[in-house]
Structure 1
Amino acid sequence: MKFALITEGISEHRIIRHILEKFFKDKVPFIRQIQPQIFNEKQISIGSWNEVLKYCGRTDDLKEIFNNNDYLIIQIDTDKSQTKPFSISHSKIDNTLKSVDELCNEVIVKLKSIISLEIIKEHGNKIFFAICVHSIECWLLPLLYTNNLKSKTHGCIDTLNTELIKKNIHIIPNGNKNNHNAIRTYETILKIWKRKQDIIESSKHNEGFKKFINSLKTIDLTK
């Protein structure tokens, strides 16, 4: 069971990797980071939402991914989705906010439109989208909160940090999520997800997270 990952950065990689390792624990999944490149747990190439979009358009590279891997996970946050060339508004024509489900669906359509039709036809059922509204840290909130804050979709790093301070754990800086202390903090938080069921329970509080987890459930584990 081999997964290739395209993520915004290394912190997103760590979270997706942990989810896959726990979700498919019995299958001992092999996880290969494609974009950005990571070596010795350090990011060695440029990451960002824009780099995710660019990689989706690299047909030859995507073909190569499926020559060596069973599945591809594409992760992207929506906090910058209103910026060109992402160009997906958070609001409808009448200026009301789109639901998390609506926004996720539009982002998936966008990503599929960038990926070549050839890849979609041949491997579309092996591509899974982790759409994080509005950042992947929102998926972690149920690990620290039991009230309605666990379903927040805005300012999630700041919300995490509020509780981390109370627990005397290093905060995650908005500007540098990959310093030594931040990495240890992510590891501390992720350890709470010990079992597949823990992840499923957390996903119920965020529609984007739930869509991703539900898509993983479609993988045939008998192969």
Structure 2
Amino acid sequence: MTTFALISEGITDQIILERMILQICSEIFEEDLDINPLQPLRDATDSATNAPHGGWELVLEYCEERVADALASNDYVVIHLDTDEGDHPNFGLRLTEQGNERSYDHLIADAIEIVAARIGNDIYKAHTERLLFAISVHTMESWLLLYFFKRNEPKNSINRLNRLLAKADHPPLQKRPRRTNNFLRKLGARNCWLSKIGNTVSACLLAD
């Protein structure tokens, strides 16, 4: 059995990542997959079991303090971060340069460097092949907007997504576990894929 640990900003992010991992890995691994949400923790009803339970700050904190434990008990560790709060001093990711928005590649690369620094150089270098990064520019909803509607609009993505869903007579996406599961079941007929760049998994969704 191949095991994946998830370190993410929120429970609904985990649900989306789980679906993506299961879809891509079903064609790669012959054995069963076991996905272990570690941050935030949740129970069988998809309720959070620790509070406060989400956000980028707790992702970075977990990477600094507990990622070694995740690596010890799992084959791979998937680390998710949104870049929308990158300008926060405690995040330290510049979203613009000389008044211009930075490229996705640069944002993703710098976000990975920030996480790697929290993990620690020795651990990061020793386990590079097992650390998979899901960096969404700027939110997980930006991925869904790009995938389902081919709209590359990373700002205010959830509102843009819900307006397009309404036009297509679909219910809006709400950031609740059950609603997210229902959303993916109804609209997720096509596969969502994680695109591998080097040794990282980036925030690219590839249509069929």
Q: Same fold (TM over 0.5)?
A: yes
Partners of 1:108 and 1:184 lie apart in 2 by 31
- AA aligned to 1:36 is P
Partners of 2:159 and 2:145 lie apart in 1 by 11
Partners of 1:21 and 1:179 lie apart in 2 by 17
Quote how far apart the aligned CAs of 1:35 are.
0.3
Partners of 1:121 and 1:181 lie apart in 2 by 38
Which residue number corresponds to residue 219 of structure 1? none
Describe the SS at the equivalent of 1:209: coil
- AA aligned to 2:128 is G
Quote how far apart the aligned CAs of 1:145 are.
1.6
- AA aligned to 2:49 is I
Partners of 2:112 and 2:20 lie apart in 1 by 20
- Flag structure 2 segments of 5+ consecutive residues without an equivalent: 196-200
Partners of 1:63 and 1:103 lie apart in 2 by 25
Query: Quick check: 1:143–1:192 contact (8 Å CA) kept in 2?
Result: no
Query: Quick check: 2:15–2:181 contact (8 Å CA) kept in 1?
Result: no
Which residue number corresponds to residue 154 of structure 1? 155
- Could you give the per-residue CA deviations for residues 3-35 of structure 1, whole angstroms, max 9, x where no partner exists? 101000011101111000000114232110010
The 3 A distance-change label for structure 1 pair 143 and 83 is same
Quote how far apart the aligned CAs of 1:208 are.
4.6
- AA aligned to 2:42 is I
Q: Which residues of 2 match residues 180-191 of structure 1 at below 5 A? A: 180-189=178-187, 191=188
Partners of 1:188 and 1:121 lie apart in 2 by 40
Q: Which residues of 2 match residues 102-141 of structure 1 at below 5 A? A: 102-141=106-145
Which residue number corresponds to residue 190 of structure 2? 193
Matched, 1:72 2:95: no
User: How many matched pairs?
Assistant: 194
Quote how far apart the aligned CAs of 1:119 are.
1.3
Which residue number corresponds to residue 11 of structure 2? 10
- Flag structure 1 segments of 5+ consecutive residues without an equivalent: 202-206, 214-223
Quote how far apart the aligned CAs of 1:68 are.
1.4
- AA aligned to 1:193 is R
Query: Quick check: 2:41–2:48 contact (8 Å CA) kept in 1?
Result: yes
- AA aligned to 2:56 is W
Query: Quick check: 1:9–1:43 contact (8 Å CA) kept in 2?
Result: no
Matched, 1:43 2:48: yes
Partners of 2:14 and 2:178 lie apart in 1 by 16
TM normalised by structure 1 equals: 0.79
Partners of 2:126 and 2:194 lie apart in 1 by 29
Which residue number corresponds to residue 216 of structure 1? none
Describe the SS at the equivalent of 2:37: strand
Q: CA RMSD in A?
A: 2.3
- Could you give the per-residue CA deviations for residues 63-91 of structure 1, whole angstroms, max 9, x where no partner exists? 22122110110000001111120021211
More helix by share: 1
The 3 A distance-change label for structure 1 pair 105 and 143 is closer
The 3 A distance-change label for structure 1 pair 5 and 110 is same
Describe the SS at the equivalent of 2:203: helix
- AA aligned to 1:119 is I
Instruction: Provide runs of 4+ in structure 1 moved above 4 Å.
Output: none
Quote how far apart the aligned CAs of 1:182 are.
4.8
Percent of aligned pairs with the same amino acid: 25
Quote how far apart the aligned CAs of 1:200 are.
6.4
